[in-house]
Amino acid sequence: MLLSYWLRLVCLVLFSMGVMQITLHLLIRFVMTLAERRVDRMSARFRERIYFVAPLASHVLALLFSLLVVAPQYIRGETNPLRERVGIVCVTGALLVTARYLYGLLRAIRFLVQMRCAHRHDEERVVLVGDVKPHICANGYPLLAVVGLFSPRIVLSQHLLDNAAFSPQLLEIALAHEKAHVHHHDNLKHFVLASLAFSDLRMEGSLKRWRYAAEQAADDDAVSGSSSRAILLAETLLVAARTVSSEGASALSLGLLPHEEELDQRIGRLLQGDSALAPMPTSCWLHMLCASALLFAGACALVHLFAASLYEWTEYALHLG
Question: What is the spatial distance between Cα 131 and Cα 278, in angstroms, rounded to a whole number?
Answer: 24
Q: Would the pTM count as exceeding 0.75?
A: yes
Spatial contact of 263 and 239, defined as CB atoms under 8 Å apart: no
Question: What is the spatial distance between Cα 232 and Cα 236, in angstroms, rounded to a whole number?
Answer: 6
Phi, psi of 72, rounded to the nearest 5 degrees: -60, -40
Calculate ∠ Cα 58-279-289, nearest 5°. 40
> Minimal CA–CA distance to 96: which of 22, 170, 168, 177?
22
pLDDT in tens, the chain (321 residues): 788 888 889 998 999 999 989 988 888 888 888 877 777 778 888 888 888 988 888 899 899 888 888 888 888 888 888 888 888 888 899 999 999 999 888 888 888 887 776 666 545 666 666 667 777 877 655 577 888 888 888 888 887 777 777 788 888 888 888 888 888 998 889 888 888 877 554 445 778 888 888 888 888 888 887 888 888 888 888 887 777 655 545 555 566 655 556 777 777 888 876 444 444 455 555 666 676 667 667 666 666 666 667 777 788 787 876
Spatial contact of 112 and 187, defined as CB atoms under 8 Å apart: no
Question: What is the spatial distance between Cα 57 and Cα 316, in angstroms, rounded to a whole number?
Answer: 27
Burial group, residue 15, by CB count within 10 angstroms (0-12, 13-18, 19+): buried
User: Cα–Cα distances in Å, from 299 out to 65, 110, 114?
Assistant: 10, 37, 41
The set of residues, in sequence order, having a beta carbon less than 8 Å from that of 229 and lying 6+ positions away, is 173, 222, 223
Residues in a beta bridge with 255 = 145
